[in-house]
Amino acid sequence: MTMSDPPPVLDVRTPAEFSHGHVPGAMNMPLFSNEERVLVGTTYKQVGREAAILQGFDLTGAKWAGFIRQALDIAPHKKIAVHCWRGGMRSAAIAWALDLYGFEVYLIENGYKAYRRWVQRQFEATRNLRVIGGMTGSGKTRLLQALQAKGEQMIDLEDLAQHQGSAYGSLNSRIQPSQEQFENNLAEELYRLDDSRRVWVEDESMAIGRCLVPRFFWDQMQAAVLFDLQVSEDRRVCALVQEYGQLDKEFLVSCTLRISKRLGTERAKHAIAAIRRDDMVEFIRQVLVYYDKLYRKGLDNRPGRCIFRVRLKNGNN
């Protein structure tokens, strides 16, 4: 469906389905609750389609006026798009009721299942990527934002994943989307890009917290030109103390314990002791040994060896 002023999208799947993944910006108006959908699905399999339809109407009989009022709140001009999982009975039932009331209804063909196929196609496209690398604390995200302010195209994977990528990356406050929702959000960002122009991204592991960068897109990142920011350790420590130094100490300790084997027992012990005595500079220096080593290993393993080292002369990137 193509139009200059697209209508609101109404997702009539269950709350659980919607939470797992949905079209960005869509509103959830479930025809069935999570439990009701299980009942109807069981009836469909064990008895048949007609019995399931009757049971569905029994379950929703008192809800129809509420559906229409909710749709009016979402689309007061009475123009709306509707979908379920694969364009089946749920979306057809809601579309029928809204059409009867006078809505201009667009039924999305093949539903959310077709949308997910579209999402996967976005990752298969070849893009003109440029990657900003650098050791932890080099200011990669700030540089991405500065490039965007200058009119460059960029994708902020950490923002989409709601995670900074390290063991401490949730910042004790961020809640990550599901893997499916991360993919949906990323696909929407990619779709808006001008493919004739370059796109800047930050060098990332495939895993950003619990979210995985889609394989084909990550492979393109690995093969792309990388600009490796050269920033002194002192400046990096200062930046990281500002970012992480105010976080809850028990959060920092628990994160450090989770990576204690990778840090090494003695280094983890020193890092935790530094947290306890509020010596954030020493804490950062201890964990940077591990993260710097990890970054250098990642550079060595890049299949694309086109790396430009960029030495930054001041703190403004």
Nearest Cα residue to 91 out of 50, 44, 56: 56
- CB proximity list for 153: less than 8 A, separation 6 or greater: 193, 194, 197, 198, 199, 200
Average pLDDT per consecutive 10 residues, the chain (317 residues; last block may be shorter): 75 97 97 95 93 93 95 97 93 96 96 97 95 95 95 97 94 95 98 95 95 96 94 95 94 95 94 96 96 91 81 62
Distance CA 163, CA 150 (A): 25
Q: Which two tokens stand for residue 287?
A: 């964990």
**Domains of the chain, each with CATH number or no CATH:** 9-118 (3.40.250.10), 127-311 (3.40.50)
For position 4, what pLDDT does the model report? Answer: 59
pTM exceeds 0.85 for this model? yes
- CB proximity list for 198: less than 8 A, separation 6 or greater: 128, 129, 130, 152, 153
DSSP string, 55-97: HHHHHHTTTHHHHHHHHHHH-TTSEEEEE-SSS-HHHHHHHHH
Conformation bin of residue 32: beta by default, left when phi > 0, alpha when psi is -120 to 50: beta
Active site residue 84: yes
Distance CA 55, CA 32 (A): 11
- Is the distance from CB of 94 to CB of 164 less than 8 angstroms? no
Q: Which two tokens stand for residue 197?
A: 């122009």
The residues pairing with 282 across neighbouring beta strands, listed in sequence order, are: none
> Strand, coil or helix: what is 134?
strand
Angle, helix 89-101 to helix 49-60, in steps of 10 degrees: 50
- Is the distance from CB of 167 to CB of 259 less than 8 angstroms? yes
